[in-house]
Amino acid sequence: MEWWGIVILLATGLVALYLLWRFYQHYQKSPSEHKFDLYYMISFAVLLVAGLLLIFFTYDVLGNELVVIVAALIPLGLSVGLVNEFYPKYGLGYLMFALLGLIAIAVTRYTGPETAATIILATVHGIAGLIIFILPIYVAVKGRVVTDFLWVGIGGALIGLGGIALAYLKSGSQLLFFSADFVFTILAPLLLLMALAYTYGFVKKMLA
Protein backbone atom coordinates (compact mmCIF):
# COMPACT_ATOMS: atom_id res chain seq x y z
CA MET A 1 0.00 0.00 0.00
CA GLU A 2 1.28 3.47 -0.93
CA TRP A 3 1.83 6.07 1.79
CA TRP A 4 -1.02 8.24 0.50
CA GLY A 5 -3.38 5.27 0.88
CA ILE A 6 -2.42 4.97 4.54
CA VAL A 7 -2.99 8.72 5.05
CA ILE A 8 -6.43 8.49 3.43
CA LEU A 9 -7.39 5.48 5.55
CA LEU A 10 -6.27 7.31 8.70
CA ALA A 11 -8.43 10.27 7.66
CA THR A 12 -11.34 7.89 7.13
CA GLY A 13 -10.81 6.55 10.65
CA LEU A 14 -10.91 10.07 12.09
CA VAL A 15 -14.15 10.78 10.23
CA ALA A 16 -15.62 7.53 11.57
CA LEU A 17 -14.55 8.49 15.12
CA TYR A 18 -16.18 11.90 14.75
CA LEU A 19 -19.41 10.35 13.54
CA LEU A 20 -19.36 7.80 16.37
CA TRP A 21 -19.13 10.70 18.83
CA ARG A 22 -22.01 12.48 17.08
CA PHE A 23 -24.21 9.40 17.20
CA TYR A 24 -23.40 8.86 20.86
CA GLN A 25 -24.29 12.46 21.70
CA HIS A 26 -27.56 12.13 19.78
CA TYR A 27 -28.38 8.83 21.48
CA GLN A 28 -27.71 10.29 24.92
CA LYS A 29 -30.36 12.98 24.38
CA SER A 30 -33.12 10.36 24.33
CA PRO A 31 -31.93 6.74 24.69
CA SER A 32 -35.44 5.32 24.50
CA GLU A 33 -36.28 7.12 21.23
CA HIS A 34 -32.87 7.05 19.55
CA LYS A 35 -32.06 3.35 19.75
CA PHE A 36 -31.42 3.37 16.00
CA ASP A 37 -28.23 5.33 16.72
CA LEU A 38 -26.78 2.16 18.26
CA TYR A 39 -26.99 0.39 14.88
CA TYR A 40 -25.29 3.33 13.19
CA MET A 41 -22.55 3.22 15.81
CA ILE A 42 -21.93 -0.48 15.14
CA SER A 43 -21.44 0.27 11.43
CA PHE A 44 -18.91 3.03 11.93
CA ALA A 45 -17.06 1.19 14.67
CA VAL A 46 -16.57 -1.67 12.19
CA LEU A 47 -15.52 0.84 9.51
CA LEU A 48 -12.92 2.24 11.90
CA VAL A 49 -11.55 -1.23 12.68
CA ALA A 50 -11.61 -2.23 8.99
CA GLY A 51 -9.55 0.82 8.06
CA LEU A 52 -6.95 -0.01 10.71
CA LEU A 53 -6.77 -3.61 9.51
CA LEU A 54 -6.17 -2.42 5.94
CA ILE A 55 -3.33 -0.20 7.19
CA PHE A 56 -1.62 -2.93 9.21
CA PHE A 57 -2.24 -5.91 6.92
CA THR A 58 -2.74 -4.15 3.53
CA TYR A 59 -5.39 -5.26 1.07
CA ASP A 60 -4.43 -8.90 1.60
CA VAL A 61 -6.72 -8.85 4.64
CA LEU A 62 -9.72 -8.63 2.29
CA GLY A 63 -9.15 -12.29 1.49
CA ASN A 64 -9.72 -13.29 5.12
CA GLU A 65 -13.14 -14.90 5.52
CA LEU A 66 -13.65 -13.49 9.03
CA VAL A 67 -13.02 -9.97 7.74
CA VAL A 68 -15.60 -10.50 4.99
CA ILE A 69 -18.16 -11.60 7.59
CA VAL A 70 -17.49 -8.75 10.03
CA ALA A 71 -17.40 -6.17 7.22
CA ALA A 72 -21.00 -7.11 6.39
CA LEU A 73 -21.95 -5.35 9.63
CA ILE A 74 -21.27 -1.99 7.95
CA PRO A 75 -24.15 -2.08 5.42
CA LEU A 76 -26.35 -4.22 7.66
CA GLY A 77 -25.97 -1.91 10.66
CA LEU A 78 -26.67 1.18 8.58
CA SER A 79 -29.71 -0.30 6.86
CA VAL A 80 -31.15 -1.65 10.14
CA GLY A 81 -30.68 1.79 11.69
CA LEU A 82 -32.39 3.54 8.78
CA VAL A 83 -35.36 1.17 8.78
CA ASN A 84 -35.77 1.47 12.56
CA GLU A 85 -35.54 5.26 12.43
CA PHE A 86 -37.93 5.94 9.57
CA TYR A 87 -40.11 2.81 9.35
CA PRO A 88 -40.02 1.36 12.89
CA LYS A 89 -42.97 -0.95 12.26
CA TYR A 90 -40.71 -2.93 9.91
CA GLY A 91 -37.71 -2.63 12.23
CA LEU A 92 -37.93 -5.99 13.98
CA GLY A 93 -38.64 -7.89 10.78
CA TYR A 94 -35.71 -6.35 8.97
CA LEU A 95 -33.45 -6.90 11.97
CA MET A 96 -34.32 -10.61 11.79
CA PHE A 97 -33.46 -10.60 8.07
CA ALA A 98 -30.13 -8.90 8.81
CA LEU A 99 -29.22 -11.42 11.52
CA LEU A 100 -30.18 -14.38 9.34
CA GLY A 101 -28.26 -12.85 6.45
CA LEU A 102 -25.16 -12.44 8.59
CA ILE A 103 -25.43 -16.06 9.78
CA ALA A 104 -25.89 -17.25 6.18
CA ILE A 105 -22.80 -15.30 5.09
CA ALA A 106 -20.77 -16.82 7.94
CA VAL A 107 -21.93 -20.38 7.24
CA THR A 108 -21.41 -20.27 3.46
CA ARG A 109 -18.02 -18.57 3.81
CA TYR A 110 -16.67 -21.61 5.67
CA THR A 111 -18.82 -24.51 4.52
CA GLY A 112 -20.57 -23.69 1.27
CA PRO A 113 -19.23 -23.78 -2.29
CA GLU A 114 -17.77 -20.51 -3.58
CA THR A 115 -20.74 -19.89 -5.86
CA ALA A 116 -23.27 -20.17 -3.03
CA ALA A 117 -21.13 -17.98 -0.77
CA THR A 118 -20.90 -15.30 -3.48
CA ILE A 119 -24.64 -15.36 -4.15
CA ILE A 120 -25.54 -15.08 -0.45
CA LEU A 121 -23.04 -12.27 0.10
CA ALA A 122 -24.22 -10.36 -2.98
CA THR A 123 -27.89 -10.79 -2.03
CA VAL A 124 -27.52 -9.61 1.56
CA HIS A 125 -25.21 -6.74 0.62
CA GLY A 126 -27.44 -5.85 -2.32
CA ILE A 127 -30.62 -5.54 -0.25
CA ALA A 128 -28.86 -3.56 2.48
CA GLY A 129 -27.17 -1.37 -0.13
CA LEU A 130 -30.44 -0.56 -1.89
CA ILE A 131 -31.98 0.51 1.42
CA ILE A 132 -28.98 2.73 2.22
CA PHE A 133 -29.14 4.28 -1.26
CA ILE A 134 -32.91 4.70 -1.74
CA LEU A 135 -34.34 5.34 1.74
CA PRO A 136 -32.34 8.50 2.63
CA ILE A 137 -33.06 10.06 -0.76
CA TYR A 138 -36.75 9.14 -0.50
CA VAL A 139 -37.29 10.62 2.98
CA ALA A 140 -35.32 13.74 2.01
CA VAL A 141 -37.37 14.29 -1.16
CA LYS A 142 -40.58 13.73 0.82
CA GLY A 143 -39.54 16.43 3.28
CA ARG A 144 -39.38 14.15 6.30
CA VAL A 145 -35.81 15.27 6.97
CA VAL A 146 -33.49 18.01 5.71
CA THR A 147 -32.62 17.76 2.02
CA ASP A 148 -28.93 17.30 2.85
CA PHE A 149 -29.77 13.87 4.25
CA LEU A 150 -29.76 12.53 0.69
CA TRP A 151 -25.95 12.58 0.98
CA VAL A 152 -26.31 9.40 3.02
CA GLY A 153 -27.80 7.80 -0.08
CA ILE A 154 -24.92 9.11 -2.19
CA GLY A 155 -22.48 7.56 0.31
CA GLY A 156 -24.34 4.29 -0.05
CA ALA A 157 -24.01 4.43 -3.84
CA LEU A 158 -20.26 5.09 -3.61
CA ILE A 159 -19.48 2.15 -1.37
CA GLY A 160 -21.94 -0.06 -3.27
CA LEU A 161 -19.92 0.48 -6.44
CA GLY A 162 -16.71 -0.46 -4.67
CA GLY A 163 -18.34 -3.49 -3.06
CA ILE A 164 -19.61 -4.82 -6.38
CA ALA A 165 -16.17 -4.39 -7.93
CA LEU A 166 -14.53 -6.24 -5.02
CA ALA A 167 -17.09 -9.05 -5.27
CA TYR A 168 -16.29 -9.51 -8.96
CA LEU A 169 -12.56 -9.62 -8.22
CA LYS A 170 -13.06 -12.21 -5.48
CA SER A 171 -15.04 -14.38 -7.90
CA GLY A 172 -12.13 -14.24 -10.36
CA SER A 173 -13.80 -11.98 -12.92
CA GLN A 174 -13.68 -8.26 -13.66
CA LEU A 175 -16.45 -5.66 -13.75
CA LEU A 176 -16.01 -3.44 -16.82
CA PHE A 177 -12.69 -1.55 -16.40
CA PHE A 178 -12.44 -2.32 -12.66
CA SER A 179 -9.20 -4.29 -12.72
CA ALA A 180 -7.57 -5.39 -9.47
CA ASP A 181 -5.00 -2.57 -9.63
CA PHE A 182 -7.69 0.03 -10.34
CA VAL A 183 -9.98 -1.20 -7.55
CA PHE A 184 -7.20 -1.17 -4.96
CA THR A 185 -6.13 2.30 -6.15
CA ILE A 186 -9.59 3.83 -5.66
CA LEU A 187 -10.67 1.83 -2.59
CA ALA A 188 -9.12 4.09 0.07
CA PRO A 189 -10.37 7.36 -1.52
CA LEU A 190 -13.77 5.74 -2.03
CA LEU A 191 -13.98 4.85 1.67
CA LEU A 192 -13.10 8.42 2.64
CA LEU A 193 -15.63 9.95 0.24
CA MET A 194 -18.26 7.54 1.54
CA ALA A 195 -17.51 8.43 5.16
CA LEU A 196 -17.63 12.16 4.39
CA ALA A 197 -20.95 11.81 2.56
CA TYR A 198 -22.43 9.84 5.47
CA THR A 199 -21.10 12.36 7.98
CA TYR A 200 -22.48 15.37 6.14
CA GLY A 201 -25.92 13.81 5.72
CA PHE A 202 -26.28 12.42 9.24
CA VAL A 203 -24.89 15.49 11.01
CA LYS A 204 -27.13 17.85 9.02
CA LYS A 205 -30.13 15.71 10.08
CA MET A 206 -29.11 15.69 13.73
CA LEU A 207 -28.56 19.46 13.77
CA ALA A 208 -31.85 20.28 12.01
Quick check: 139 pLDDT over 80?
Answer: yes
Identify the pLDDT of residue 57. 83
Measuring CA to CA, which residue among 110, 130, 132, 133 is closest to residue 122? 130
Q: What is the overall mean pLDDT for the chain?
A: 88
Quick check: 121 pLDDT over 90?
Answer: no
Residue type, 157: A
State the total domains in the chain: 1
Residue type, 15: V
Measuring CA to CA, which residue among 10, 16, 2 is closest to residue 155? 16
State mean pLDDT over 189-205: 93
Identify the pLDDT of residue 170. 60
What DSSP character marks residue 142?
T
State mean pLDDT over 158-171: 66
pTM of the shown model? 0.91
Identify the pLDDT of residue 171. 55
Range in 13-17, 119-123, 150-154, 180-184 the model is least confident about: 180-184
Quick check: 172 pLDDT over 60?
Answer: no
Q: Is 74 helix (H, G, I), strand (E, B) or coil?
A: helix
Predicted confidence band of residue 163 (pLDDT cuts 50, 70, 90): low
Domain that holds residue 85: 3-207
Q: What is the pLDDT of residues 39-93, one digit of tens each?
A: 999 999 999 998 888 888 887 777 788 888 888 899 999 999 999 999 999 999 9
What DSSP character marks residue 129?
H
